[in-house]
Structure 1
Amino acid sequence: MNKEVQYIITTLQGSLDGDPWYGRSLYAILKEVEPASVFINPDEKGHALIEILYHMIAWAEAVQSTLEGDTQKQISYYEALDWREIDPTIHTWKNGVNELKATHRRILELLQSKNDDFLASPVSQRTYTIGYMLHGLIQHNIYHQGQIAYVKKLLD
């Protein structure tokens, strides 16, 4: 049985490129961002859009790695990528959006073959389950989606 897994897949897909009840999807908002503005930090306390995007990528990649059963990359690997130094020659908006989408495609693909029992599995080096982590990914995406929409509006 994979009723809960299917719920997670549907919820994640809807928040990424569906029609969520709270507003526009993440990919719709990312598409509206002017690449020329992504390196601008609207205030010294926050983050530029590019920093938020690559922060989201780091944790989506951590989820993907967990689902793939990758034991080579420790959580410290992803923690080092969290709020990383942005190199404008490497970390472009287009590259980041493509990377975020590819990572989420892979997560959704991996979930297709899982059953609900899998969600109770512990996450290595953490005190929570894979189910909790997946719900956390959805919440994390929505949280930063709101930030991106807000910062975008400040820069428009």
Structure 2
Amino acid sequence: MTTSQKLFNQLQSVLSGEPWYGPSVYAIVDSISFEAAYEKPAGSVHNIAAIILHMTGWTEEVMDRMNGMDAQLPVRGDWPEPGLPDEQKWKWIVEDIKLVNVNLAGFIQNFPEERWSEIVAGKPGADEADETYEYQVAGLIQHHIYHSAQIALLNRMING
């Protein structure tokens, strides 16, 4: 199995498949109500909408890196502010996380196999394994898992 196939399969499992650890990212996100998305339980730093915007921004940043751009913080910012509660905006946030991951899946499938072990552009002095394109995408998949668990926990805190 190629690196592209392996990463693509892992991404699909985490996003919409049946990962061994529990519900997929989309199963969790699709269970969130508009009201819960903007509520911030006591002690929470971010609400669910902000976490999803964060996930979307980092997905875009990894694609930019795969496209040869220098590594940096996401264009949207690390933690974009979701603004005031807005039901239509919430629908767009959910659509956006799904669309950006469709694009990522395409990037993964079309990424040249010989480039997976290359160092990501803009990482001065980088020579560690964690600076390769393969590691960046694998890390993003882990990032999705981590934040989807946060979302599930916040939703449980909100809805009991």
TM tier relative to shorter chain: 0.7 to 0.9
Q: How does 1:88-107 map to 2 (within 5 A)?
A: 88=84, 92-107=89-104
Instruction: Say whether 1:85 aligns with 2:81.
Output: yes
**Which TM-score applies when normalising by structure 2?**
0.86
Q: 1:144 aligned to 2:147?
A: yes
Task: Measure the CA separation in 1 of the matches of 2:53 and 2:25.
Answer: 14
Whole-angstrom distance in 2 between the partners of 1:79 and 1:90? 24
Matching residue's letter, 1:93: W
AA aligned to 1:92 is K
Identity %: 29
Provide the aligned length of Structure 1 versus Structure 2: 152
TM-fit CA distance, 1:5 = 1.6
Instruction: Give the match for residue 123 of structure 1.
Output: 120
2:102 and 2:81 map into 1 onto residues whose CA distance is 25
Partner of 1:46: 45
1:122 and 1:106 map into 2 onto residues whose CA distance is 22
Taking a change above 3 Å as real, the CA distance of residues 45 and 79 of structure 1, as seen in their structure-2 partners, is farther
- Cα RMSD after superposing both structures: 2.1
Note the residue ranges of structure 1 that are not aligned, 5 or more in a row. none
CA distance in 2, matches of 1:45, 1:16: 24
150 and 90 in structure 1: CA distance in 2 versus 1, 3 angstrom threshold: closer
Alignment CA distance shift 1:80-1:25 (3 Å): closer
Equivalent position SS for 1:69: coil
Letter in 2 for 1:84: P
In 1, Cα distance between equivalents of 2:87 and 2:122: 30
User: What letter corresponds to residue 59 of structure 1 in structure 2?
Assistant: W
Partner of 1:4: 3
- Cα distance in 2 for partners of 1:134, 1:67 equals 9
2:23 paired residue number: 24
Contact 1:63–1:133 (CA under 8 A) maintained in structure 2: yes
CA shift for structure 1 position 69: 2.7
Aligned residue for 2:135?
Answer: 132
